[in-house]
Amino acid sequence: MGDIFINLWQGTIYAFSPINLLAIVIGYAIGVIAGAIPGVMAVTAMVLILPFTFTLEPLFAIALLMGAYKGGAYAGSITATLVNIPGTPEAAATALDSYPMSQRGEQQRALELALWASVIGGTISNLLLIFTAPPLAEVALLLGPAEIAALILFSLTAVITLLGDSLLDIWKGFISITLGLMLAVIGLDNMSATRRYVFGFEDLDSGVPFVLCIIALLALSEVFIQCERVRQLHIEQGFKGVKPIPYTWPQRWKDFKFCLKDLIRSSFLGSLLGALPGIGATTTAFVCYGEARRSAKKDNRFGQGDPRGIAAPEAGNNAVAASSLIPLVTLGIPGSVAAAVMYGAFMIQGMIPGPMLMQERPEVIYGLFVLLVLTDFIGAFMVALPFIYVVRRLLRRLDFSLFFPGVMACCVVGVYSEEFNVFHLRLFFILGVLGYLMRKNGFSIPPFILAFILGPILERNTRTALLIGGGSLEVFYTSKVAMILLILAVASLVWALWRKARGAESAGGLAVPEEFKH
């Protein structure tokens, strides 16, 4: 423990310079702008920054990249809150309650809840990274392919059980996840390199691009929905914005006390899941949202603007930002896409991440830890709060009928610039229409996307586990961790079906979703 404090002191001296603080502000500002634009995302901004770090000082370059990542991790919730278009995939969980709150005129409340939850989640994760990186890395190392596959399956079933209040909603969630898994297996088999479900289109050999799918299903489908709503508003009563409700300091303190338990739980849960390579912020956000909803009382307002539905996923997905670096700095294994970009930054600077780096250059690693703590507070006060004020004022004065064509243009540019492939534009519009039809018929988009993201990881780990077990399923039930997770997955699904079937019987039939009541 003494060595930790000595290294931390050296890292603080090394990190605490005006140039590094400037790097935080610049990086966070770039991340906020990138995260607030649907389809761009923080990782894209990090990739664009990376080539410019060749001539920079090591800690300045790392501070710039981490600022961009942290800024983007929060900023996805801005457009998710104001116009129901998550700027990043993990913000889809936040939008479930932040957008309904925004529609009531509480935009400032929703945005600040997301911001302070991000700061708290990030800070707790930073402290855990500093003091518990080696033991957490050892726990992550104990999970093999069978355990990771079981964990992903449990995550998918947990999402299904949390959808809606009727059997119909559960079945729709099951269909959404099945469609997402089907989309994920399109392309060349990752082990045998044979074509699967490409229907003669060679452009699909590499599968459906991740960014394209996310933008189409979240952003383009939402543009279609919002344009329809704007048209109806123009016809019926003219387009009018909701009058904003002030967010007072007593209300801030009340929200903090109300959400404190969920903030702490989600921060620790996000830190643990973030340390597991491949889990990611999106899965973590939905798991934290599910846990907050599960632990809430029956009179909760989840899905209608409950503050815990904003605080929990934001604290969780921002906790991933620091904890995903645990396997990187201790084992040299990137825990996420953003961590992989950080790996590249270390390599550019001539440093190989891993246990030897912690021994040879502790001032750099602990300087990074100190900068992570500073980034949350400096970015929040100097960048995020002013940006929120500007964006709220701007959107209040703009006609949304002019805003969404601009969003569509950004989406098209983002999709085309990824590989400069015209076929991807066609696929983009097809998936956008699919997302629109799913929304119109009451199917949830986030489970579809979650299954699409986790599908390749689930397949790869399942097949690897079967190869290790010689093709026998015994490899899953001989592992205590995998067996427990599989039992929990089945039990949660059976319990949800039974509970909602019983509720439907007491109500005299299946509960009718809100969209079918009008």
Q: Residue ranges per domain, the chain?
A: 2-137+149-244+258-516
Which pLDDT value is given to residue 324?
81
* Percentage with pLDDT > 90 across the chain: 11
Tokens of 153: 């399956």
Average pLDDT rounded to a whole number, residues 305-310: 90
Stretch (H or E) spanning 397:
helix 385-397
- Contact between 321 and 70 under an 8 Å Cβ cutoff? The reply is yes
Average pLDDT rounded to a whole number, residues 446-459: 79
68-82, 209-223, 394-408, 454-468: lowest mean pLDDT where? 394-408
Task: Please state, rounded to an integer, the average pLDDT across all residues of the chain.
Answer: 79
- Contact between 175 and 159 under an 8 Å Cβ cutoff? The reply is no
Say if residue 509 is exposed, middle or buried (CB neighbours under 10 Å; 0-12, 13-18, 19+).
Answer: exposed
Distance CA 418, CA 239 (A): 35
- Contact between 71 and 32 under an 8 Å Cβ cutoff? The reply is yes
Greater confidence, 402 or 427? 427
Mean pLDDT is highest, among 22-36, 120-134, 193-207, for: 22-36
Average pLDDT rounded to a whole number, residues 418-426: 83
Q: Which amino acid is at 388?
A: I
Tokens of 116: 């302070």
Strands 187-188 and 195-196, by their bridges, are antiparallel
3-12, 111-120, 223-232, 286-295: lowest mean pLDDT where? 223-232
Split at pLDDT 50, 70, 90, the class of 397 is low
pLDDT digits (tens, 9 = 90+) for 185-239: 898 887 777 888 888 888 888 888 876 787 788 778 877 876 776 554 443 333 3
Which pLDDT value is given to residue 120?
93
- Contact between 221 and 435 under an 8 Å Cβ cutoff? The reply is yes
Which pLDDT value is given to residue 437?
92
- Contact between 189 and 421 under an 8 Å Cβ cutoff? The reply is no
CA neighbor of 121 nearest in space, from 307, 282, 311:
311
Q: How many CB atoms lie within 10 A of CB 477?
A: 14
- Asked if residue 351 has pLDDT above 90, the reply is no
55-69, 104-118, 391-405: lowest mean pLDDT where? 391-405
- Contact between 370 and 358 under an 8 Å Cβ cutoff? The reply is no
Which pLDDT value is given to residue 514?
41
Average pLDDT rounded to a whole number, residues 294-322: 84
CA neighbor of 337 nearest in space, from 36, 2, 65:
65
Which pLDDT value is given to residue 26?
92
Average pLDDT rounded to a whole number, residues 128-146: 70
Which pLDDT value is given to residue 518?
32
Which pLDDT value is given to residue 257?
92
* pTM to 2 decimal places: 0.66
- Asked if residue 392 has pLDDT above 50, the reply is yes
Task: Tell me the helices (H) and strands (E) count for the chain, helix number first.
Answer: 23, 2
pLDDT digits (tens, 9 = 90+) for 157-181: 876 766 656 778 778 888 888 898 9
State the alpha helices, DSSP H only, in 37-106: 41-49, 58-83, 91-103
In terms of phi and psi (left: phi > 0; alpha: psi -120 to 50; beta: otherwise), the region of 198 is: alpha
